[in-house]
Amino acid sequence: MATPLLMPKATAVWLVDNTALSFEQIAAFCALHPLEVQAVADGDVAGGIMGVNPVQNGQLTREEIAKAEADPSYRMKMSEPKVRVAAAKRKGPRYTPISRRNERPNAIKWLLRNHPEMKDAQLMRLVGTTKSTIDSVRDNTHWNSANLVAMDPVTLGLCSQIDLDLEVKRASKGQAVPEESDGGTRLLTAEEALANAAARSGATEHGGDREDVRREEELDAASVFARLKSLKSSDDE
């Protein structure tokens, strides 16, 4: 989308007073009618408007003006803005085209089934629905609940995959990590993997020492039992 010209009539006043451009060229650049530009030059229109220099505000260059002055058929092009202004954030529920509004209950059913952790406000933002519709789908009291089929809202074109992932990430924040089920597996974190590797390395390096200690303990235990046995024999005598 092209950036609109700031104050087109004031810009036309400046171009009429400071350039040799034709009325058609000024009208094309300022989105005005050539007769309106001619009226500006005659003083019939915009008599109290002070001219605005489009070169100073970065919407036109001197080179572009010179090129247009040399060629009356040339139409000037607006300069690209050096700073991009972020678009205003959308407030309220997302607008849904009329042709797709009948698909919203199907999308709600899919979200309730696959992402029960999401809040109603998040569902409303994603598919542009209302809380009463969400409650009716959840409670199976929707007027068309018998024919509802869970369908991905991204596939239906009700939201983008980026928006869906963002809402899922927001909903999952602060939730406890589920415990491992019997027989289940999970990926280790980098810290856990390093700790396990270090433990295995230490076990390999000191395995011989631990084996020697175990054997010494077994020998000590054997000698103790032998001494007890000899003491018992002497008592019997």
Assess if residue 202 is contained within a domain.
Answer: no
Same domain, 167 and 130: yes
Per-residue pLDDT of 119-141, as tens digits, reads 998 888 888 888 999 999 999 99
In a domain, 220, yes or no: no
- Please check whether residue 189 lies inside any domain of the structure: no
Check pLDDT > 60 for residue 80: yes
Query: CA 67, CA 79: separation in Å to the nearest integer?
Result: 14
Q: Which of 27, 50, 70 is where one domain is finished?
A: 70
Verify that 43 and 109 share a domain, yes or no. no
The Cα–Cα gap between 24 and 33 comes to 8
Residue 27, domain member (yes or no)? yes
Give 148's DSSP letter.
Answer: -
Asked whether 52 and 60 are in contact (CB, 8 A), the reply is no
Q: Are residues 103 and 62 in the same domain?
A: no
Residue 91 lies in a domain: no
**The pLDDT of residue 180 is above 50:** no
* Cut 0.75: pTM above it: no
**Total domains present in the chain:** 2
* Mean pLDDT for the chain overall: 77
Domain ranges, residue 157: 98-172
